[in-house]
Chains A and B, each alone.
Chain A
Amino acid sequence: MIPVEYYLVVAGVMFGVGAIGFLLRRNLLVQLMCIELMLNSVNLTLVAFNRMRPDDHNGQMFAFFVIAVAAAEAAVGLAIGLAIYRLSRSVRSDEADLLKN
C-alpha cells in the first residue's frame, strides 16, 4: 500500500518543476507545456484526495472539468502563440511587447 503523502509529494514536485519552467523559459510553446504540467499535478492531488474518501467522485469530477478546461486553454493559447509568431516572427514571449510604452 502507498500513503497519500507520496502522491502529494510527486504532485508538488511536478507543480514546482512546471512553475519554475514557466518562469525560466522564454519559449511560448514550452511555457504552455509548463502550464499543462501544473494542471496535471493539480489533477493528481484531486484524484489522490478523492481516493481518501471513496464515497463519492467529487475530486475526480473536478479533475475531469480541469482536463476539459485545459484542453480549451491549450487550443486558445496555441492560437494566440501562432498570432504572435505571425506578427513578430518569433515565439519568444519577452519579444511580445506591443503594449509596452
Chain B
Amino acid sequence: MNGLGSLLFFGISALAALIGALFVVLATNPIRSAMALLLAIGGVTALFIGLDAHFLAAIELIVYAGAVVILFVFVIMLIGPDSTPPHDSKAMFSRTLAAVVFGMFALVTGFFMLRAGGGLHWFPPYRHDYGTIDTFGRELFTRGLVPFELTTALFVVAVVGALAVARGRHRSDAPSEGAKEQAP
C-alpha cells in the first residue's frame, strides 16, 4: 500500500473504532451499545490489518464479533425490556467527578507526552513472514505452549463457573422445598 492509501485506511478504521467506542457509552439502549461495540471491534480489526497482524485480526473478528457480541445480544434478549432501566441522578455527582478526574489525568499525561518530544517513531520495513498464521503459530506452539495449554484450563473453569452461576438457586431450592414438605 502506498502512503496516502495506508493513511486513508488508518483514518477510516480509527474513526470506526472511536465512533463505535463513543456510541457504546452514549447509547441508552443496550442493544445499540452492542451494535456500536461491533463497529468498534471492526475498526480495531482493520487497525490490526494495518499493523500486519493478519492472524490476530482474524482471531479478533471470530472471538469478539462472532462470540462475545452474540453473547451480549443473547443476554439482552433474555433480559428483555428490563435491560434499559430508567435514568436517575443517584450518585451522579461522584460518578461525574470520577469521570472528570480521569479525563484530567488523561489530559495531563498527554501534555507531558507532548512536552517530552522526541518526534514520531516510524515502523521498520515490513517482513513477509511477520504476523502470518505460519510464523505466529510456530511461535505460539513452541515458546507459548505452556500458557496456551493453561488457557484451556481457564476456559474449563470459566464454563463451569458460568454454568454454576447462571443456573441460580434452582438446585438448592428443590431440596429445601422437599424438606419443607417432609417437615410437617
Proximity string of chain B (116-135) to chain A, C-beta cutoff 8 Å, 1 when within and 0 when not: 00001111101100110001
Q: Establish whether residues B34 and A33, one from each chain, have CB atoms under 8 Å apart when the complex forms.
A: yes
Residues B33 and A14 in contact, CB atoms below 8 Å apart? no
Write the chain A residue with the least CB distance to B138.
Answer: A57
Q: Say whether B71 faces chain A, with CB atoms less than 8 Å apart.
A: yes
Query: Taking each of B34, B67, B165, which has the highest tally of chain A beta carbons within 10 Å of its own beta carbon?
Result: B165
B140 close to A64 (CB less than 8 A): yes
Known: A51-B51, A82-B78. A27 touches B30 (CB 8 A): yes
Query: In the complex, what's the smallest C-beta–C-beta distance from B25 to chain A, in angstroms?
Result: 3
Asked whether, in the complex, the Cβ of A2 is within 8 Å of the Cβ of B50, the reply is yes
Interface size class of A (residues with CB under 8 A): 35 or more
Pairwise interchain contact B124-A52, C-beta atoms closer than 8 A: yes
Contact-residue size bin, chain B (C-beta under 8 Å from the other chain): 35 or more
A98 shortest CB reach to chain B, Å: 13
Chain A residues positioned under 8 Å from B131 (CB to CB): 57, 60
| Residues on A with beta carbons closer than 8 Å to the beta carbon of B34 | 29, 33
A36–B161 Cα gap in the complex (Å)? 20
Q: When each residue 84-98 of chain B gets 1 if its CB lies under 8 Å from chain A and 0 otherwise, what string results?
A: 110000110001101
Residue pair B159, A19 in contact (C-beta under 8 Å): no
Q: Which residues of B approach A to under 8 Å, CB–CB?
A: 3, 6-7, 10, 14, 17-18, 21-22, 24-25, 27, 30, 33-34, 37, 40-41, 44, 47-48, 50-53, 55-56, 59-60, 63-64, 67-68, 71-72, 75-76, 78-79, 82-85, 90-91, 95-96, 98-99, 102-103, 106, 109-110, 120-124, 126-127, 130-131, 135-136, 139-140, 143-144, 147-148, 151, 154-155, 157-159, 161-163, 165-166, 168
Given A3-B121, A12-B110, A75-B162, 12 other A-B residues pairs in contact with their CB atoms under 8 A: A17-B21, A34-B25, A51-B51, A51-B53, A51-B123, A51-B130, A57-B136, A57-B139, A60-B56, A60-B131, A75-B71, A78-B72
Nearest 5 A-B pairs (CB), nearest first? Answer: A21-B25, A3-B120, A72-B158, A79-B162, A79-B166
